[in-house]
Amino acid sequence: MEYSILVVDDQPENIRFISILLKEMELGNKIYSAPNGKVALGLIEKITPDLILSDWGMPEMDGLELLKALKASHKTKDIPFIMISAIKIDAASMKESFEAGVHDYLKKPFDKLEFVARVTATLKLQDAYLKIKKNGEEIANQALLISKQHEELQKLNMLKDRIFSIISHDVRAPLATLDGLLEIFSDEEIQLDEKELIGYVGTVKTELNSIQSLMDNLLYWAKSQLANREMSKTDVNINEVTQEISELFHDKIVKKSLDFYNHANSNTTIYGDKNVISFVIRNLFANAIKFTPIGGRITVDLKVIEDSVVISVIDTGVGMDKEVLDSIFDEDMVSTQKGTSGEVGTGLGLMLCKELIEQNKGSLSVKSEIGKGSTFSFTIPIEN
C-alpha cells in the first residue's frame, strides 16, 4: 500500500535520513518535507498526509504547536503523528506530547529497527482505525435506514387501522340499510305502493352515493399516504371547476332548494394541480350541502391576496361551536355527524383536503358560528 508521508524538521540532514528509511520500507514515493510547523500546516492543507513525523524543537512553530493545531481541526485531527526529539526526552515532556494527542514518540538517536517498528505499528493502527470508522459509518447509515423503514411500517400500520376503522364503521351502516331494503323488496308478502317504492329508491340512491363518496375519499387518501404524490400542475380556471362541481351536485341542490352563487371570476386562472383543487372544492361543497338546511345558500368566492389565491366555500348552515372547530382537523377525532337531511359521512374528506393543500404549500382554515353557517377557505400560492 502506498502512503503519503510528511517529514517536518529544521535540519535537512535529518529529513534526508528519515526519507531514506521510509523509501527502504517501500511505503511509496509520496514523501514530503517542511522546515517547521508553520510551513507544514500550509502543506497539509494541500496534501492531507497519512502520517506525520515531526521534530519537536523548530523555529516559528515547534512540533508540539503543530500537533495541537492539527488536533484542533476536524479535518486533520485523525492524522497519525510521531514526535521525534533529542532534547525533549524527559518523562514530563513525553507526557505532555501524549496528552496533546501524539500517536508515538521517537528519541534521537534511534536505530533503523526501532524506526521501522514504530512507523509500521502506527500505520497498521491507523488502517485499523479507518476501517472501524468506515464500518461504524456504514452501521450508522444502516441504523438510520432501519429507523426510517420502521417509521414507514408504523405509518402503514396506522393507515391500515384507520382504513379498517372507517370501513367497519361507515361502510357497514349504509350496507346494512341496503340489505334491509333488499329484504323488503324480496318479501312477496310486502306490497309497496308507488309512493313507498319511490321513497325506498331514493334511500337506496342516497346510501349508494354515500358509499361511493366514502370509497373515493378513502382511495384518494390511501394513495396520498402510501407515496409522495407528484403534483401535475397546469392552468386551472376556478370558475369552470366550480360550475362542473355544482352540476355534479345539481340534484342535491334542487332537493334541498338551495341557492348557489359562483363569485369566482370567469377569467380567474391559477397554476396548480387541477385534480387536487377540484377534489378540495368538491369536498367543501359536499360538506356545505350536507350541513345547510332546506332553502339555504352556498357561495363560492375567490380573492387574490398578495402572492396567494384564497378560495372560500360559504354556507348558511347550522354552524359549529368552538369545541367542534378545535377538533375538526384532528385525525384522532374524525367527525361522523349527520347532515340536516340525515346525510352521513366520515370527516375523512376534510382531513384529506387539509393534507393535500399543505402538500401544495397552502393552508385550510374555517370560520363558523352556530346558527349562521360556516366558511371554509383554502389558500394556495400563485406560481407562474
Sheet of 363-369, strand order: 259-262, 297-305, 308-315, 373-381, 363-369
Look at residue 361 in the predicted model and tell me its pLDDT. 82
CA-based nearest residue to 370, from 312, 311, 314, 325 = 325
d(CA 250, CA 254): 6
**pTM over cut 0.85:** no
Q: Contact 317/374 with Cβ under 8 angstroms?
A: yes
Which residues does residue 366 pair with via DSSP β-bridges, in sequence order? 376
Which residues does residue 368 pair with via DSSP β-bridges, in sequence order? 374
Look at residue 346 in the predicted model and tell me its pLDDT. 47
Q: Contact 307/325 with Cβ under 8 angstroms?
A: no
Residue the block writes with cell 512507523 = 119
Give residue-wise pLDDT tens across range 55-83. Answer: 999 999 999 999 999 999 989 999 999 99
CA-based nearest residue to 162, from 335, 331, 371 = 331
d(CA 258, CA 246): 11
Quote the Cα angle for 376-346-315, to 5°: 25
Give me the residues of the chain with pLDDT under 50, please.
344-346
d(CA 141, CA 102): 30
The string of DSSP letters for 242-273 reads HHHHHHHTHHHHHHTT-EEEE-S-TT-EEEEE
Look at residue 292 in the predicted model and tell me its pLDDT. 92
Cβ neighbours for 29, distance < 8 A, ≥ 6 positions apart: 2, 23
